[in-house]
Amino acid sequence: MTGSTSIAAALPRRQILLGGAALAAGFAMPAFVRAQGSKQQLKLSIGRIPWAAGNSPMTQYMINNKLLEKRAADFGYDLTIDWREYPTALPMVEAMVGNNLDIGMWGNTPIIRAISSGLPISPIVVGEGHLRFLITTRNGSPIRNAQALKGKTIGVSLGGDPQSALTQMLKHELGVQDVAKEAGIRYVNMPTHAQAASVPTGVDATCTISPAFYAAQASGTVAIMNSFGQTEDYYEGPAGKGAGILLPSVKKSQFYPDGYYLHRSFWIGRNALIEQHPQAVVAFIVAQQEAVAALSVMDPGAVSQLVKDYWKLDATQGAKVVKDDVLFSRGWSWPTEKDALAILESSRYMADNKQIEKPLPWDKVRTQFQRTAPLVKQAYEKLGSKPAASEFTRTDVSDLRGRPVWEIDKWANPA
């Protein structure tokens, strides 16, 4: 968060919500309940980022099939959902500060800021993860590797996961602790992923996410490396030339094999909602997992076309985004020990970069998951098809896992 307590404007579905705009006076509270026959009537406002990655087709599948409404009915709710679309997490945070959003999907960075500031929120379940962040430039640029970025200006979404991912890539590749002081690199804010992917005039390079990059390739945007620790097509440097080369520096990252950065986005709920309507939260978790399970066995290209209007990608390009996402590689969305580690470790280098006053202690991170852990367990047990216990602790995969959240008492303190 930026420290502002302004409330994000809420517009109808399929319109972008812009952060910082004030809501009209008299805005009705989004969650309420009243008796209606044998069911309770409940309104929920849920924020999604359909221009991002796995959360986009997953929520679209939920919307198309009214999964959440159906599961809520199983728990005695007559549910009405106000699905809202946001370009980034920041306006969602502002809306939740004003009690005008019930559930939203945030990445590591805004979650850490919210916890540090004492915002009454809790992580519910993984919303997407293992997103590919790319360092991009214009075709014909002399910038072909990270070393060529010294002294340059890079456009990136400041205060969000792209900045954190970019900083980790540069620190490891350049062997520095402070990219500004030691490498002379200056960051410039890019309000949207699409703007970053266009590599606008005034910056030498940018950091953006894969859906935006793939859509911008036709206009001449090229990439040199990604947050997984691999080179991209435009790379030429010490590791060789072309895409798919594993950069040796990524193996020094504590997040390897996930990459330079342990990206996880979580669905976040207001504590008041979680405490007042826990079974509605269970319904949300069940509905999401049903969507994840269904999409995980579909053709990735077909999955991507559910959100073609947002990603602007054909099935071949869209399949790349789907295949990257941790939701679909796992086939489940249950939070794990190492997913929580993403928040802990990211808070440490956010503190080093003066983005927050001090890093979060492990006990505080665990506490954030404890409020919803029993609800996640209930949802897990309610589903007939579920991963075996051994799936959570596998190490022969490209994503970091660990004990599930309902075994939170067994989570080890990484310190």
Residue 197 confidence (pLDDT) above 90: yes
Using one digit for the tens of pLDDT, what is the confidence trace for 228-237?
A: 999 999 999 9
Residue 216 confidence (pLDDT) above 80: yes
Using one digit for the tens of pLDDT, what is the confidence trace for 128-154?
A: 999 999 999 999 999 999 999 999 999
pLDDT at 348: 87
SS3 for the chain, per residue? Answer: CCCCCCCCCCCCCCCECCCCCCCCCCCCCCCCEEEECCEEEEEEEEEECCCCCCHHHHHHHHHHHCHHHHHHHHCCEEEEEEEEECCCCHHHHHHHHCCCCCEEEECHHHHHHHHHHCCCEEEEEEEEECCCEEEEEECCCCCCCHHHHCCCEEEECCCCHHHHHHHHHHHHHHCCCCHHHHHCCEEEECCCHHHHHCCCCCCCEEEEEHHHHHHHHHHCEEEEEECCCEECCCCEECCEECCCCECHHHHHCCCCCCCCCCCEEEEEEEHHHHHHCHHHHHHHHHHHHHHHHHHHCCCHHHHHHHHHHHHCCCHHHHHHHHHHCHHHHHCCCCCEHHHHHHHHHHHHHHHHCCCCCCCCCHHHHHHHHHCCHHHHHHHHHHCCCCCCHHHHHCCCCCCCCCCEHHHHHHCCCCC
Higher pLDDT, residue 26 or 293: 293
Using one digit for the tens of pLDDT, what is the confidence trace for 53-106?
A: 999 999 999 999 999 999 999 999 999 999 999 988 889 999 999 999 999 999
Contacts of 188 (CB under 8 A, 6+ apart): 153, 154, 155, 156, 202, 203
Window from 27-36, 159-168, 203-212 with minimum mean pLDDT: 27-36
pLDDT at 351: 87
Assigned fold of 133-252: D-Maltodextrin-Binding Protein; domain 2 (3.40.190)
Mean pLDDT for 347-359 is 85
The correct answer on CATH 3.40.190.10 for the domain covering 33-129+263-410 is yes
Task: Give the closest residue to 318 by CA, choosing from 309, 328, 326, 308.
Answer: 308
Q: What are phi and psi of 341, to 5 degrees?
A: -60, -30
Mean pLDDT for 337-361 is 88
Contact 406, 380 (CB under 8 A): yes
Residue boundaries of the structural domains of the chain: 33-129+263-410, 133-252
Q: What percentage of the chain carries pLDDT values higher than 70?
A: 91
d(CA 172, CA 214) in angstroms, rounded, equals 25
Model confidence, pTM = 0.84
Task: Give the closest residue to 138 by CA, choosing from 198, 182, 91, 92.
Answer: 198
pLDDT at 384: 84
Q: What are phi and psi of 342, to 5 degrees?
A: -60, -40
Encode burial over 30-44: b for 16+ CB neighbours within 10 A, e otherwise: bbeeeeeeeebebbb
pLDDT at 312: 95
Contact 164, 241 (CB under 8 A): no
Please report which confidence band the pLDDT of residue 349 belongs to, taking 50, 70 and 90 as the band edges: confident
Identical fold for domains 33-129+263-410 and 133-252, yes or no, is yes
pLDDT at 37: 56
d(CA 365, CA 103) in angstroms, rounded, equals 19
Residue 412 confidence (pLDDT) above 90: no
Higher pLDDT, residue 50 or 17: 50
Using one digit for the tens of pLDDT, what is the confidence trace for 237-286?
A: 999 999 999 999 999 998 999 999 999 999 999 999 999 999 999 999 99
Neighbours of 59 (CB within 10 A): 28
Q: What are phi and psi of 141, to 5 degrees?
A: -70, 145
Contact 297, 329 (CB under 8 A): no
Decide: residue 14, CB within 10 A, 0-12 exposed, 13-18 middle, 19+ buried. exposed
The answer, yes or no, to whether the previous bond of 387 is cis (omega within 30 of 0) is no
Contact 144, 236 (CB under 8 A): yes
